[in-house]
A and B are shown apart, each in its own frame.
Chain A
Amino acid sequence: MLDIVYVVATLSFFGLMWAYARACEYLGREPMGEKEQL
């Protein structure tokens, strides 16, 4: 029974990390003023 819990927890963790990466991508969107400096 706990095997399922640990497997689901592992998959959830990596899913969370993927969502976190997308959030970082969102955080990295430049405000207009900074864009020309890229």
Chain B
Amino acid sequence: MTTNGWLLILVYSVLLLAVTKPLGVYMVRVYDGSLKWLAPLERGIYRVCGIDPEEDQHWTRYTGALLLFSAVSMLVTYVALRLQASLPLNPAGLPAVADRQAFETAASFTTNTNWQSYSGEQVMSYFSQMTQLAFHNFTSAASGMAAVVALTRGISRRSGGRLGNFWVDLVRGTFYILLPLSVIMALLLVQQGVIQNFVNYVTVTTVEGAKQVLAMGPAASQIAIKQLGTNGGGFFNANSAHPFENPTAISNFLEMFALLMLPAAMVYMFGRMVKNVKHGWALWAAMYVLFFGGVATAYWAEARGNPIHAARGVDVVASASNPGGNMEGKEVRFGIAASVLWATATTDASNGSVNAMHDSFTPLGGLVPLVNIQLGELIYGGVGSGLYGMIMMAVLTVFIAGLMVGRTPEYLGKKIQSREVRMVMLYVLIFPAVILTFTAASVLLPAGLKGLNNAGPHGLSEILYAFSSTTGNNGSAFAGLTGTTYYYNTMLGLATLFGRFAMMVPMLALGGFLAERRTVPESAGTFPVTTPLFVVLLVGVVVIVGALTFFPALALGPLAEHLAMQAGRLF
């Protein structure tokens, strides 16, 4: 580990803290409707689409609108990908996307997952990238943000189960937050050298005299929203390890920062909207504790390197001319610290973009991204989805604290009773049920085993990572698993859908139930949710729920592999 590396992590942390409040305040104004600089555009959209912006929707109607929008936009994308060869902006003459991949991609982008079983530059036309994938990058992020705002309204007011208007939240999130920030981000990336063009692929002669085709395209605009919207789907197959997507140390920092910027600000927004800013900061602190634990562990593991390399005489000590540690699968341009910081941040969020290959991390280094996903991606998390995941855990925490002292638990003035806890438990249990069921089926079925490229515990880690990543709507790949089969395309596509909507529904139901309750004033029996004790308890609940659920699978995968590596055996 180097001073430079720790300095990078420190600067990242300080800037994340600095941006939280101003951006959070801006977002409060977006969602309370007081910001009106795009009012004419908004009115036009509502009029064309026949939306009544004044309608305050019951939670079932809000959920129905979200499901309807997702279903229709997913089907449109499926059809567009299947008809790609006949549509414009296809200078490379790419054929239609295969049915199984079109299904998986449509599901994946609709759910903010962006798992890609294809090379963007070889399969997707500029039309598909710009009108379908980029569209979902905006709307899936805006849907997630809308969902957490709905839950927040349920907590902060008594409105007979009404949570606001999904269509208004979707439009305002897209036009006031995601689009302006994406334009700024895209311009900054272009300035750093990220490509943005419509020219055909370029054939060049390499220094060895070979011919090489260089893929081109409107990359910067897509990368801006892929990071800001915690989407993660790369324009190129190598994602942000590709020099056209991520050419400099500054572009690397900008992209890495963009992926946690909005989720961190949303935590402050939540505190302001529920009129308890201190509680927002308490959630922020719990997230930072988990974030720092992850990045420090991964940095230690990767900087320490592989003992088998050291035993065979490889110099793994960092020096002026040698990054040391485990550099397999990492960009020499970025080194270990920037790679582990990205890997941690991208799996804390439901982003999934990568600038290094997680499959090449040491077992414990690779364990960190896997655990981050399996904790529910609530360490800042995906835009919206991370925060509502943490709020569900906060409700569980006050429920457990209430059980300890024998009082009816309250959360921010709302009584937590059996029906609320039912929804929280549905939310908590569906996630591991989907991951572990699909993983177990894949290790038992010949079609599942056919996709494996590595045996033993590493092979199990690859399958477990794939279903954790898709169910968690992360989208990063461990690599090493051949996902382009009917079995994996279909199963992983279904995992993304269940991971998104089967968890969103009980979360919105909880919001609706809380919106039916009156707010009770704090009393001596109220468990305070602004103290360090609450932060410790919340972190404990998150870790214990995650550990109890996934420890057996992790013990058979990365932990067994780590012990085998110490004994000199690799997989």
Contact = CB atoms under 8 A, between A and B. Distances in A.
Interface of A: 2-3, 6-7, 9-11, 13-14, 17-18, 20-22, 24-25, 27-31, 34, 37-38
Given A28-B419, A28-B512, A21 B99 contact: no
Contacts of B518: 38
Which of A6, A7, A38 is the most central at the interface, judged by chain B CB atoms within 10 Å of its CB? A6
Given A27-B419, A38-B518, A6 B501 contact: no
B426 A24 contact: yes
B516 interface: yes
What is the size category of the interface that chain B forms with chain A?
35 or more
Interface stretch (B64-72, B339-347, B554-562): B64-72
13 contacts: A6-B99, A10-B74, A10-B75, A10-B103, A14-B71, A14-B501, A18-B64, A22-B60, A24-B505, A27-B423, A27-B509, A28-B423, A37-B415
A13 B64 CA distance: 13
B64 A38 contact: no
Interface string B487-510: 000000010010001100110110
A25 to B, nearest CB: 6
Contacts of B517: 37-38
B79 to A, nearest CB: 9
Contacts of B422: 27-28
B418 interface: yes
Given A7-B75, A30-B419, 10 more contacts: A10-B74, A10-B78, A10-B103, A14-B67, A20-B502, A21-B60, A27-B419, A28-B423, A34-B417, A38-B517
B506 A24 contact: yes
A30 to B, nearest CB: 6
Nearest to A13: B497
B63 interface: yes
A18 B501 CA distance: 10
A8 to B, nearest CB: 11
B71 A24 contact: no
A-B pairs with lowest CB-CB distance, top 4: A14-B71, A24-B509, A6-B103, A28-B419
B71 A21 contact: no
B21 interface: no
B450 interface: no
Given A20-B505, A24-B423, A3 B82 contact: yes
Contacts of B505: 17, 20-21, 24
Interface in B395-427: 415, 417-419, 422-423, 426
Contacts of B423: 24, 27-28
A11 B71 contact: yes
Contacts of A34: 417-419
B415 A2 contact: no
A27 B422 CA distance: 8
A28 B355 CA distance: 44
B102 interface: yes
B443 to A, nearest CB: 24
A2 to B, nearest CB: 5
A27 to B, nearest CB: 5
A33 to B, nearest CB: 10
A6 B78 CA distance: 9
B509 A25 contact: yes
Interface string B200-221: 0000000000000000000000
A37 B417 contact: yes
Interface string B92-115: 000000011011001100000000
Contacts of A10: 71, 74-75, 78, 103, 106-107
B289 to A, nearest CB: 32
Nearest to A37: B415
B166 interface: no
B93 to A, nearest CB: 22
